[in-house]
Structure formats: C-alpha cells, structure tokens
Amino acid sequence: MPERREFKRIRCYIPALISFDDSETYQEYLIMDISKGGMFIVSNELVETGKYIHFKLLNQNKVSIISGYGKIVWSNTIDDNEEFKMGFGVFFTELDEIDKEILIQLSEIVNK
C-alpha cells in the first residue's frame, strides 16, 4: 500500500500537554510519532474528530520545546499488534517558524 502522508513520520516518545477547544486545562499525553505535518498521540479514549487543540511538546525536564495548534483528523483503535491500542492523529494548523525549523532539523537527523 503506498504511503499517503506528505511527510515522513519520525517514531518518538515525547510527552505533550494538550488543551482541547481553547480550554485552559491541559492533559498530558504521549506522542508516538511526528512529522512536519502532524503527529500521532496515544490516548486511552476516543476523542472527537474535528476538534482543535493547543499542544506543547515537552523535553525531559517538562519544559515546552515546541508549541502550536492542530486539528484532530482521526481517532480510533490501532492495530492489535501495536504497543498502544488507541490514539488520534493531529494535523498541524499553526506552528511558529522556529518550531517548524526544529521539526525539519529533527527529521533530517533521523533520516540520515
């Protein structure tokens, strides 16, 4: 099956804080893969597609390294052979130029 994604995904385990629909409340999630266009977030529950989120990717010290906005484009269970059973896909709708550059550099490092 041909790859439908525009950007190559990078497998990772990055903690993130997610706020749904402009709420001031953030919940911690785990990002399992990321690209220049979006990310897959592990979740124990299905989330509503079409919702907009604000996200902050965290480093090991829980400091935000990338921040932006995205739209949930799918949410479901994934293959039973995977380590995690549920999650949702996010398409980036707004990233600062500096954050875009960080993702590009990360992609170049991993793809070498």
pLDDT value of position 1: 43
Stretch 96-105: mean pLDDT: 85
pLDDT tens-digit readout, 43-89 = 888 889 999 999 999 988 999 889 999 999 998 866 655 655 689 99
**Residue pLDDT, tens place only, 20-42:** 977 889 999 999 998 888 999 99
Lowest mean pLDDT among 5-14, 67-76, 93-102: 5-14
Question: Phi and psi for 36 in degrees, rounded to 5?
Answer: -70, -15
The total number of structural domains in the chain stands at 1
Question: Domain residues for 39?
Answer: 10-110
CATH of the domain at 71: 2.40.10.220
Residue 89 amino acid letter = G
Identify whether 25 is part of a domain.
yes
